[in-house]
Structure 1
């Protein structure tokens, strides 16, 4: 097997918790964004592959990095992204950062503290937002709020998929100290329903993540690009709704995702809210807290 594309899980941009290169984004940016997404999605699928050995996964990720940097042309996702970035004169730093996270996925199965999880998000999620901002020529001053949003999205996903990650990959992103403080155990993630201690832990982490997401509310106002601001507003609306669901539901017992009606409702709310905000020049309500130190 020489092509990483053969290792794809089948998951695509429509399966994410956020819109990827949506119609809101200007068409001139979509090809580059999709090239970045396909590179990241394929690398993620390599790290999560059910039958590849760890050293095989790392070898594929190393190959991706080499070809992204111009050393080889065998991996389509790396080559297409390399060329798309070159057309814009953009460096590959954000794509290189996400490869750090996927190597961590191969070699690190447990996280001791919230800060360790945030460090993982620094490479798994924050580069995605930074890439989007760079694509739109936004200032790096927007990175702090973007980092909070992207980390919040990632932790939402960790909580949504905590049972699946444990059963399929023996991977646990819930901090050990949070589990211990609640009296929960890693093994409980294999159950069909959370015992009270685990449910308390999951909902406490969701509440902490809600504070993190509050730090990102200024982002849509900080970006200059109107379309990007609207897209961010929609993503924030999705993230806020999911974290509210996680505060009251049990992800081991039920699928905590937005249905089609909710996706439509919160998309419209985000779009209308941001258009209205920009029309009157009002900044979003922000309630920053000491939730992370990325």
Structure 2
């Protein structure tokens, strides 16, 4: 964990960290206004480090939960306008005061990371959506607050986009998630839908890729696409940099969806990712506002 007290150092370290991770968080974007870079960097660092606590290293389940609880305790101090102990959260408290943002979205993120430590299976799509509401949607809501474009309709569209991007990430990472949590592995596909389709957990481990799996996979991809398209109007309603930023994020999601469709479920050997060749396509789509 980094320790810093100066805003410039916080921003520099966070931007460097962000560029090492594939994220839908626009912390490393050149479009981000200078006045928001420190705020976004601090928020990103908290989210990134808490996510790593849940996912990385060899700590026990109890150690991970205790570490995440310390983050939650610090956030609740910030929320109560009591000075926290760690420099990172002292920086956050200043961000909250300067930009009038809510702490609850960050608490929701911590809740999702705690869930990742203890929950590895999802019975229904409603359970998956509940997880996305806490693991992905808070990012969009925080950005709306920072840009001062927070409204009921904007939140609805942002939630749809963020949930869709989270689902897309799940479908990219079926094989990777199976390797987490030791022998158990994580599966974000719905158990009831898998059973109805005739697909078992062992099929995932065996990297099944027949027509049954392809049909099931494409149904999931199409559902994510419908959500992304439902939230897409937000990019046309937000002005200037934030509008372009969001249209690029949506276009990036659409590009991954295109690749998921092309691989037809063979994400074990051909995991779709964005490459340098994709960015001109993404930029063109964002600039054309379509």
TM norm structure 2: 0.85
Give 2:278's aligned residue: 262
Give 1:13 deviation, angstroms.
Answer: 4.1
Per-residue CA distance 1:18-75 (angstroms, 9 max, x = gap): 3623111211111111111111011111111241111111111110111223377554
Give 1:227's aligned residue: 241
Distance in 1 (alpha carbons) for counterparts of 2:209 and 2:45 = 34
Give 1:163's match in structure 2, choosing from 146, 156, 175: 175
SS of structure 1 residue aligned to 2:59: coil
Give 2:134's aligned residue: 123
Q: Where do 1:92-171 residues align within 5 Å?
A: 92-141=103-152, 142-169=154-181, 170-171=185-186
Give 1:237 deviation, angstroms.
Answer: 0.5
Give 2:43's aligned residue: 36
Matched residues, number: 268
8 Å contact from structure 1 (residues 4, 46) kept in 2 = no
Give 2:10's aligned residue: none
Distance in 2 (alpha carbons) for counterparts of 1:101 and 1:189 = 24
Distance in 2 (alpha carbons) for counterparts of 1:244 and 1:45 = 29
Give 2:203's match in structure 1, choosing from 165, 185, 188: 188
SS of structure 2 residue aligned to 1:83: helix
Give 1:278's aligned residue: none
Which structure 2 residue ranges, 5 or more long, are not aligned? Answer: 4-15
Q: State the structure with bigger RCO (CA 8 A, min sep 6), 1 or 2.
A: 1
8 Å contact from structure 2 (residues 136, 163) kept in 1 = yes
SS of structure 2 residue aligned to 1:248: helix
8 Å contact from structure 1 (residues 14, 20) kept in 2 = no
Q: 1:42 to 1:177 in 2, by over 3 A?
A: same
- Check if 1:176 corresponds to 2:191: yes
Give 2:13's aligned residue: none
Distance in 1 (alpha carbons) for counterparts of 2:116 and 2:98 = 31
8 Å contact from structure 1 (residues 47, 103) kept in 2 = yes
Distance in 1 (alpha carbons) for counterparts of 2:35 and 2:164 = 28
Give 2:12's aligned residue: none
Give 1:243 deviation, angstroms.
Answer: 1.3
Per-residue CA distance 1:182-222 (angstroms, 9 max, x = gap): 21111222235634433332222001111111111111123
Give 1:45's aligned residue: 52
Distance in 1 (alpha carbons) for counterparts of 2:170 and 2:43 = 22
Give 1:279's aligned residue: none
8 Å contact from structure 2 (residues 140, 159) kept in 1 = yes
Give 1:253 deviation, angstroms.
Answer: 1.8
8 Å contact from structure 1 (residues 35, 81) kept in 2 = yes
Distance in 2 (alpha carbons) for counterparts of 1:103 and 1:201 = 29
TM norm structure 1: 0.84
User: Which segment is superposed worse, 68-77 or 85-94?
Assistant: 68-77
Give 1:83's aligned residue: 94
8 Å contact from structure 1 (residues 82, 92) kept in 2 = no
- Check if 1:64 corresponds to 2:64: no
